[in-house]
Amino acid sequence: MAPAAPTAFVVGEALVDVVDAGGRRRAHPGGSPLNVACGLARLGVPTRLRTSLGDDADGALVRAHLSAAGVDLDPASVGEQQRTSTSVASIRGDRAAEYDFDVEWEPDVVVVPATSLVVHTGSIASVLRPGADAVHAALRQAPPSALVTFDPNTRPGVTPDRDDVLATVERLLPLVDVLKLSEEDAAWLYPGRSPEEVLRHHLSRGVGVAAMTLGPRGCLVATDSEWVEVGSAATTVVDTIGAGDAFMSGLLFALLSRGLTAAVRSRTLTGADVRALARAATTSAALTVARAGARPPTLEELLDATTVSADVEGPSVVETGCSAEPGPARSGSSGARAAVCPVARLMVSAPAHDERPPLVPSPEARSAPPTGRPRRAGQPVGDHLRPQVVMAAGDPRGPRGHGTGSLPRGGAAAYVRVVDERVRTRLTAEQATMLGTLVGRARDARSAHPWLGDEAASEVVDRVAPEDLAWVGVDDDLALSIAVRAQLLDRWCRSFLHAHPDALVLHLACGLDTRWERLRPGPSVDWYDVDQAGVMELRERLLPAHHAGQHALVADVTTTGWLAGLPTGRPTLVVAEGLTMYLRPEAGGALLARLVDRLGVGAGPGGVMVFDAYSALGVRLARLNPVVRRSGARLRWGVDDPLTLEPLGLTLLEDLQLGDVLGPGIRARMSPRMRLRLRTALAVPAFRTMGRLLRYRF
């Protein structure tokens, strides 16, 4: 019977592992790509392997092994002039394996079957030339519907030039949808960087799912919006040969069996999806290390083990190091009242003042708390503060600062000397809220496990006078919520720019947002940062537009005429974060209508708008936020039903409500108190819809 058309196509080395365990030697077919192919086939996935084998005894051993596993061997894999590669695996006292390789890898042309839903490669085959060039060409020619998956599985004994291997890995990343590597791989390729930093780097290069195995500690699996950490399943380790490959085949099996390939490509995997992938992968690896050699589980074994694991663990899968809060959601009026503050606090554009110390303007500096009279509505931020006297701890020259005043209580040790280049801010009430989001992104960037990783925001904060930021208190929960909102809007923007590399981008109410720096659009994009005169003057000092295609446009977006000078006839992306809720309803509707009239399908190819909005309840509850109250900012426009905007010429594409934005993977990273409060609050429908992220076509 002819083999089934392959669903998975694997290309890479197959060899014979000679295992030396305390002087006892035994031979097993192996090689990372071969192990992944066998793992998929044993799980019932029709799989074809393109490798390089000799017409020799070792080659016959490998072919028999593949046949027994149900793998279809590509006929081009066997040649009379080839020899079968080998490795010697020595088992250490801790049951881990060390390898010595003798590898030949010189395939000419690799043809990817058109039926493939997964095209996988990795390890030696992806970096050892000349064969690696044929592998890379095959990945570039993969069918559009196929996921490209990759496991570097570094082998310094075969390819010892770290810089060359790293350069090859980096070149492959833009082609890769799913990447898995071990903690050891990461340490060799990216020395000094944490697992989170490495995975975040891979995601920033376009990878859809990035996973790292952490040995006995389990694994970390990440997407742009979800981070899940799962501990290892309990087992007795015989040896670790093939553990990482079994992890990979279990992960790919879960993707295929759950029908998630399209969700990976569209970057829409949910937290539940990612947890299921992580659990299947770790269970597959645990079953493999419990027996000698690379013998991945069968479908029956994996399903049995996964069912037992689910029965035992229940909902306690560890996400980013924190388990979900136990206990049922509380109900009743008292619970609802208690829930108002955390939801309102996390959703408002500017974060609330908090009892914790504010983010410092630089790693070395700490600024004084604000003193003086309350700020009047409309008064520029900073004018209500008593002039601060700041000095370096132990500075013999005494106090230095802006203006006159006395040193606040606490002594000189609590203050630092202000660098002369620090920029003072003079902003209206609504404009001042942008300092809160700036500080939130910077605090996230400086955290141990950044979500957005906005290093540019961190640099901008260092250039702002500390006394102008001292009133903006941001704790870790608020910083995370700010980072999550920015990241989700970035994801929509990145998707549009990928599809339209010649787009026109209007970044409305840009403030001090570093979105251009995060997205790095191509040179054919015309990007306009748009805001009022005072804001753009400050932005020019702190974040000047000096990149090709980036323009600064001074305009009040609620007025008419500012759109007249913009180019038309190009796909257009309009992004506005923290704008709509400050507009009057009639002004907001008029702005959207003008954008559609000037840039919509009637005037050209149209485009997409992405922005955040609050419900009427969200606008009212924003008054509870201390930073809104202290700044004097006023929120005006609430959108209860996003479909009510469609008569303006918009078509709703996506509506992410607050409950979706602050999903389980996000809440798991928050403080226990905030997780418990949010769990209660988000059980109330009116609170779940207080904040939204909206995407429209126009």
Q: What is the pLDDT of residues 557-582, one digit of tens each?
A: 999 889 988 988 899 999 999 999 99
Mean pLDDT over 210-229 rounds to: 91
Backbone conformation region of residue 677, classed left if phi is above 0, alpha if psi is from -120 to 50, else beta: alpha
Least confident of 38-42, 536-540, 599-603: 599-603
User: What percentage of the chain exceeds 90 in pLDDT?
Assistant: 45
Q: Does position 331 have pLDDT exceeding 90, yes or no? A: no
Q: What is the pLDDT of residues 12-71, one digit of tens each?
A: 999 887 776 666 767 888 899 999 999 999 998 999 999 999 998 899 999 999 999 999
Segments making up each domain of the chain, as ranges:
8-313
* Mean pLDDT score of the chain: 79
How much is the pLDDT for 34? 96
Q: What is the pLDDT of residues 420-430, one digit of tens each?
A: 468 888 888 88
How much is the pLDDT for 18? 79
pLDDT band at 697 (very low <50, low <70, confident <90, very high): very high
How much is the pLDDT for 676? 86
CA dihedral 36, 37, 39, 44 (to 10 degrees): 150
User: What percentage of the chain exceeds 70 in pLDDT?
Assistant: 80
Q: Does position 140 have pLDDT exceeding 50, yes or no? A: yes
Which H/E stretch holds residue 682?
Answer: none
CA–CA separation, 567 and 526 (whole Å) = 9
Written out in words, the top-level CATH class of the domain with range 8-313 is alpha beta
Mean pLDDT over 370-391 rounds to: 31
How much is the pLDDT for 365? 31
More confident residue, 627 or 280: 280
Q: What is the pLDDT of residues 624-633, one digit of tens each?
A: 666 677 778 8
Backbone conformation region of residue 446, classed left if phi is above 0, alpha if psi is from -120 to 50, else beta: alpha
Mean pLDDT over 214-218 rounds to: 86
Backbone conformation region of residue 398, classed left if phi is above 0, alpha if psi is from -120 to 50, else beta: left
- With b for 16 or more beta-carbon neighbours within 10 A and e for fewer, the 589-611 pattern comes to bbbbbbbbeebbeeebebbbbbb
pLDDT band at 453 (very low <50, low <70, confident <90, very high): confident
How much is the pLDDT for 333? 32
Q: Cα 252 from chain centroid?
A: 20
CA–CA separation, 371 and 350 (whole Å) = 20
Q: Does position 353 have pLDDT exceeding 90, yes or no? A: no
CA–CA separation, 440 and 472 (whole Å) = 9
Q: What is the pLDDT of residues 73-123, one digit of tens each?
A: 999 999 878 889 888 777 656 656 666 778 888 888 899 999 999 999 999
3-state helix, strand, coil in the chain (%, to 5): 40, 15, 45
Q: Cα 339 from chain centroid?
A: 28
Least confident of 85-89, 111-115, 226-230, 360-364: 360-364
CA–CA separation, 523 and 405 (whole Å) = 50
Mean pLDDT over 216-220 rounds to: 88
How much is the pLDDT for 134? 92
Least confident of 345-354, 598-607, 669-678: 345-354
